[in-house]
Amino acid sequence: MPFARLTGNLIQGAGGAGFAVFQASEATLDGDTLQNNDTGLMVHSASKVRPGGQARPFTSRSNNRGIHVVRDAFAFVLAVVENNSSAGAITLFHSTLDFGGSISGNTNGAIVDENSAARFVSATIRGNRGAGVIIGDLSMVTFSGATVNGNSGGIDVVCNPQFSGTRGVFTDTAGGTTNCVEP
């Protein structure tokens, strides 16, 4: 299984992903900056990304998409995701995003859809032009000490049909608005 470690790099100007992890590979990011790419970080096809040894957040800014986790991939990241022209973070096709850090200034903060899961731990999601978090088909998002408020989309946490779910949206998002229903 291929493994890559990045520490303190600046990756910019890629027509595709600034940093892409494919084919069941693994990587760490530690204080790197991914900017002015089509996608800052792409994790694909059963690959995994996690923080590096010093656990410094990486930055994904001014890309089209900040983080894109798809096709049974897993990303456990500490990051500053800001000012991307599309979504800050997208998690699709049975993938998992475990996120700490901040997501701001994007079209939408985070999108979790198509049987995927996300957990926002001590994360701040605010100041996005649309919703803070959008949850779709058969997907689940857990909030733990997160702040999700002040997004311009009218609702901070959006539960779309069909069968989207949340935990902690009422107790752990610092008063953000939502249309979600928890048991």
- Going by C-alpha positions, the residue among 27, 25, 31, 83 that lies closest to residue 54 is 31
* Structure confidence by residue, pLDDT tens digits, 5-55: 999 999 999 999 999 999 999 999 999 999 999 999 999 999 999 999 899
What pLDDT score was predicted for residue 1? 65
Does residue 173 have a pLDDT over 80? Answer: no
Supply the pLDDT for residue 8: 97
Angle at alpha carbon of residue 21, lines to 19 and 24, rounded to 5°: 175
Dump pLDDT digits (tens) for 54-82. 999 999 999 999 999 999 999 999 999 99
**pLDDT at residue 183 greater than cutoff 70:** no
Instruction: Return the bridge partners of 110, or none.
Output: 89, 133
Enumerate domains of the chain plus CATH numbers: 3-167 (2.160.20)
pLDDT of residue 47: 98
- Going by pLDDT thresholds of 50, 70 and 90, the confidence category of residue 165 is confident
Query: Residue 102 pLDDT > 90, yes or no?
Result: yes
Q: Which residues pair with 10 in a beta bridge?
A: 33
Q: What is the mean pLDDT of the chain?
A: 94
User: Closest Cα partner for 108 from 74, 166, 157, 142?
Assistant: 157
Asked whether the predicted pLDDT for residue 163 surpasses 90, the reply is no
Cα–Cα distance, 162 to 16 (Å, whole number)? 31
The DSSP secondary-structure symbol of 56 reads P
Mean pLDDT of 173-181: 80
Question: Hey, is 47 helix, strand or coil?
Answer: coil
**With contact defined as beta carbons under 8 Å apart, do 145 and 125 qualify?**
no
- Length in residues, the chain: 183
12, with CB counted inside 10 A (0-12, 13-18, 19+), is middle
pLDDT score of 101 more than 70: yes
